[in-house]
Each structure stands twice: as structure tokens, then as C-alpha cells.
Amino acid sequence: MKSKTPSQSLTINTEVVLPNDTNHVGNLFGGKLLQWVDITAAIAAQRHCSRVVVTAAINHVSFDNPIKQNSVVTLEAKVSRAFSSSMEIFVDVFVEDTVTGKKTKCNEAILTFVAIDQNGTPLPVPELIPETDTEKKRFESALRRRQLSLILGGRMKPEEATELKALFLKD
């Protein structure tokens, strides 16, 4: 399988916050943002592996700033690391000032997708080769996030999480 770069999976999705997307204080409802995040990340994962993919885990979501009704929201997703059948996807969320066009980052999400066949059996995915400094940093730290996600999902024993332990225990 031919390796790929993160830019080959880049997926950009632009949305407008309509009244029906808001909560009781007039800001974008978190669940709506998660729906956009999940779909954008799924397309990025699919672009990387050219297979059907499913969400295995939502590893992290931060709602750093409220997003007001009528805002233009841009979601940018890229594969940050590929393992055997799973892929980690980063989604950066920006709000655009419609007058100046300036984009401000307001949220970030990290998800894990798995490529599957018609029976739901996991399939191998191409290797990911990071290029930029940010892509390299995200690639390096993905192993720790994978181990944390597997522990939380009851799929790994904490004592087996060598990368994660190394973060806290020096020498």
C-alpha cells in the first residue's frame, strides 16, 4: 500500500450557524458541532485509506470559545497518524469574521476511525508520512493518545502503556 501525506486527506467543511443549531444562550450547540466534526473527520479518514470507515472513538474535544448564531464556521480535518487499521484525525475549527475574513481558531477535536470491509472486519490502512512541523508533532504524540484511548475503552492495561507512562515517569 502506498504511503500518504496528511495534506492528501485534508478536508475542509464550511457551515453557517442557523437558529436551529443554537442552545438556550444563542451559541452553537455542542452536539451540532460534534456532528460536523465527525462527518468532516470521516471524509478525511476515507480520503487516506479509500475504504469505508467508522468512528471508533472521539478522543478529545475542546470548546474553547462560544460560537454565535450566524457565524461562519470552517472545519479542517487531516489524518495525523495511521496505525494498522485505525487512523487518528485532527479537526481544527475556525470562526470567520465575515467582514474582515479573518479566521480565529475556536475548537479542536481528535478522533479515531477504523477502515472496515463489508462484514465490519478491520482492514489495513496506508502509512502516514508527516511533512510540516505541526504534522510531525501530532504524529509523535498520537501514540500516547492511542494508548490513553485504549485504556479508557478497556482495550489495554495501564501497565502496558509504555509511551503514556514515559510522559509522567522520567527515568
Ligand X SMILES: CC(C)(COP(=O)(O)OP(=O)(O)OC[C@H]1O[C@@H](n2cnc3c(N)ncnc32)[C@H](O)[C@@H]1OP(=O)(O)O)[C@@H](O)C(=O)NCCC(=O)NCCS
Q: Which stretch binds ligand X (CB under 6 A): 23-31, 45-53, 109-117, 133-141?
A: 109-117
Rounded distance between C-alpha atoms, residue 55 and residue 40, angstroms: 12
Smallest separation (angstroms) from ligand X to the CB of 91: 16
Q: Contact between 153 and ligand X (CB under 6 A)?
A: yes
Q: Contact between 120 and ligand X (CB under 6 A)?
A: yes
- The grid cell for 13 is 467543511
- The grid cell for 60 is 478529545
- Using CB under 6 A, pick the residue from 41, 45, 75, 150 that binds ligand X: 150
- The grid cell for 89 is 484525525
Residue 159 near residue 166, CB atoms below 8 Å: no
Spell out the alpha helix ranges (H) of 53-170: 133-152, 162-168
Q: Which stretch binds ligand X (CB under 6 A): 44-52, 72-80, 81-89, 92-100?
A: 81-89
End-to-end CA distance of the chain: 38
Q: Contact between 55 and ligand X (CB under 6 A)?
A: yes
- Using CB under 6 A, pick the residue from 112, 135, 139, 161 that binds ligand X: 112
Closer CB to ligand X, 106 or 150, in the complex: 150
Closer CB to ligand X, 90 or 94, in the complex: 90
Rounded distance between C-alpha atoms, residue 110 and residue 55, angstroms: 11
For residue 37, which of 77, 72, 9 has the smallest C-alpha distance? Answer: 77
Q: Which stretch binds ligand X (CB under 6 A): 7-15, 18-26, 44-52, 113-121?
A: 113-121
